[in-house]
Structure 1
Amino acid sequence: MNTDPETFICANTSLMAPPHVPEIRLRLASEVHDLWLKTEEDLEEIGLPPPFWAFAWAGGQGLARYILDNPQEVRGKRVLDFASGSGLVAIAAKLAGAAEVVAADIDPWAGTAVRLNARENGVEIGFTADNLIGRSIDTDIVLAGDVFYDRDFASALSEWFAHLAAGGRRVLVGDPGRSYRPTERLEALATYEVPVTRVLEDCEIKRTTVWRFR
């Protein structure tokens, strides 16, 4: 029985380049259901949340693409990548010249995934598993990919992001049309057609927009 996160992640993922961000290589899974079952079996837990850290979601790919194409957004700045998952957006920010990047995700396995993926791309990324929603943060810009998928979570995030934006922090989110996106609080910056897998989505291409939180 193996429950070591690093060994498990390396055994159940492969190094791949997300299709919309080919400059970056990540340890990703090809089948969400298979990996979910393996995770439950190895940890002997029922109902373990899906391993979001094992997939390059459309919102994260769009946001990472925007950051790489617009490095002035993060160059020389302190960056928080909220709900980081694999660390894709955090890595993009560091490659684009951010002075300091911290990935935040409450899934403790995400910390291992971020560390492995950062090492693969030759960058250093900090990590915190703390729940930061509602807290003051010492950063210049907040990035968040694909976070508006749950009503209560999206509501809490919207209030927090609005508070951060009102305090002078730039908040950018990548979203492929999730149900609870607070469109009235957002200003569109760029839109992409992001290739995805039907394992995760109901189509092969997701129209994904990068928004600035007002």
Structure 2
Amino acid sequence: MSGTEPPGLDRLRLTGTPFVPEVRLHLAEDAIVWWARMEAEAGEGLAPPFWASAWAGGQGLARYVLDHPRVVAGRRVLDLATGSGLVAIAAALAGAATVTANDVDPYALAATTLNAEVNGVTLLATGADLLDSDGGDAELVLAGDVFYHRAMAARVLPFLHRVLARGGRALIGDPGRPFLPRDQLRLLASYEIPGVGTLEDAELPRVDILEPLP
């Protein structure tokens, strides 16, 4: 640790990722306990530490990218809501020309930077809210587990359509979240990964890889 990261990252443990063993991540042993301790120390509420667990949708999308490296090879890639950086790291390992890891949570970006270092890859990191943009010059946008909340889903889908409208491509990893607009997506692959991800993922044994319809 360099001492510039947000406090508390030294309480994470470096561990293998169950469905993506090529990648190791700094994760919380129990994200809820970590969150409670950090809020107690800060004396204020903190954003939920979504980045402190490897969510099933992200694991599935990372697996797909590593299994199909031609999807990212030589391309400019944007990993939306990167969380732990798992999908971004997988894209870098699979040969992307550049990978931008995006998340509005500074803890997520700090953890992603640590995780990139331990996996020997270089990522660009940005904390900007990109959902009103078209993804800039990214040729491929990766979105793992972004349809977990109605408000988030309402912003993500138009964003992905703007990416497509300017000639980019988008891939989604999702384990069956309630706000996934499945009728507007095309299924590319499915992975059976029971027991992988967060506690909330326990009843979601399948992760689908999808792309938005034009």
TM range (shorter): over 0.9
Aligned length: 210
Alpha-carbon separation, structure 1, partners of 2:159 and 2:15: 33
Partner of 1:172: 171
Alpha-carbon separation, structure 2, partners of 1:88 and 1:33: 20
Alpha-carbon separation, structure 2, partners of 1:198 and 1:162: 28
Unaligned 5+ runs, structure 1: none
Percent of residue pairs identical:
48
Secondary structure of 1:5's partner?
A: coil
The one-letter amino acid of 2:69's match is P
**Structure 1 residue 154 and structure 2 residue 159: aligned?**
no
CA deviations on 1:153-191 (whole Å, 9 max, x unpaired) are 101111111121122111001000000001111111111
The one-letter amino acid of 1:107's match is D
1:49 Cα shift?
2.0
Partner of 1:63: 61
Closer, same or farther: CA 202–188 of 1 in aligned 2, 3 Å? closer
1:200 Cα shift?
2.2
Alpha-carbon separation, structure 1, partners of 2:206 and 2:41: 36
Larger deviation, residues 79-88 vs 148-157: 148-157
Unaligned 5+ runs, structure 2: none
Alpha-carbon separation, structure 2, partners of 1:17 and 1:178: 25
Larger deviation, residues 95-104 vs 128-137: 128-137
Whether the aligned pair in 2 keeps the contact of 1:20 and 1:195 (CA below 8 Å) is: no
TM-score (norm 1): 0.92
Whether the aligned pair in 2 keeps the contact of 1:19 and 1:195 (CA below 8 Å) is: no
Q: CA RMSD in A?
A: 1.7
CA deviations on 1:130-152 (whole Å, 9 max, x unpaired) are 00002131110000100001112
Partner of 1:82: 80
Whether the aligned pair in 1 keeps the contact of 2:175 and 2:204 (CA below 8 Å) is: no
Partner of 2:9: 9
Alpha-carbon separation, structure 2, partners of 1:198 and 1:71: 23
The one-letter amino acid of 1:58's match is A
Alpha-carbon separation, structure 1, partners of 2:145 and 2:66: 18
